[in-house]
Amino acid sequence: MRVISGYLKGKSIKFIKNSKTRPLKDSVRENIFNILRHSNLTHIKLENANILDLYSGVGSFGIESISRGADHVTFLEKDISAAKALNENLIQLSITNKTELINIEVEKYLSQNLKKKFDIFFFDPPYSENSYLNNLKLIRKNNLFKKKNIVIIHREKKTEDDLNSYINILSLKIYGRSKIIFGEISLKNL
């Protein structure tokens, strides 16, 4: 697995093979970034963005974001093996100064009294898990989002989650087995 674009283009990203994590395919990652950069879908600029990468795995989304100009990425990953590989990636790529890796359950992190606000939220929970919906609720409840924000959710294309009470869905794209949902948290739907 490699970084696709930006100043880290071509650099290797270490990944692990286990039943709990699955790498985000390069083609899906590239399509997400094309939409972020070139679409009228959102007015969020990746450059200088503050990103929360939930269920990070080995960090391919957040690392790609840093490579393309994001200001800071907070990685949340509870699996110790994945967090270890992610930490090795951050050190190997010399980007620890632009990142924070937190080895904790997502819900525990979001339940804290956080002062941070994020521009971009990337959710890549295990396909079988739908508790991430509660995490969307916590982000809203604890006001962790900037007025202009984007939520990107990676799911298996067959999953049917009712997201309308959590985000305004802007677009839904299918890439093979993957479904990518783009949305925003709005003060209107609080």
Delineate the domains of the chain, giving CATH numbers in brackets: 29-189 (3.40.50.150)
**pLDDT at residue 62 above 70?**
yes
Q: Which DSSP string do the residues of the chain spell out, in sequence order?
A: -B--SSTTTT-B------SS--PPPHHHHHHHHHHHHH-TT----STT-EEEEES-TT-HHHHHHHHTT-SEEEEE---HHHHHHHHHHHHHTT-GGGEEEE-S-HHHHHTS-----EEEEEE---TT--THHHHHHHHHHTT-EEEEEEEEEEEETT-----TTT-EEEEEEEETTEEEEEEE--GGG-
**pLDDT at residue 16 above 80?**
yes
pLDDT tier, 68 (very low <50, low <70, confident <90, very high otherwise): very high
Q: How much is the pLDDT for 117?
A: 95
**Prediction pTM value:** 0.93
pLDDT in tens, 129-160: 778 999 999 999 999 999 999 999 999 989 88
pLDDT in tens, 73-130: 999 999 999 999 999 999 999 999 999 999 999 999 999 989 899 999 999 998 777 7
Q: How much is the pLDDT for 18?
A: 63
**pLDDT at residue 189 above 70?**
no
pLDDT in tens, 32-42: 999 998 888 77
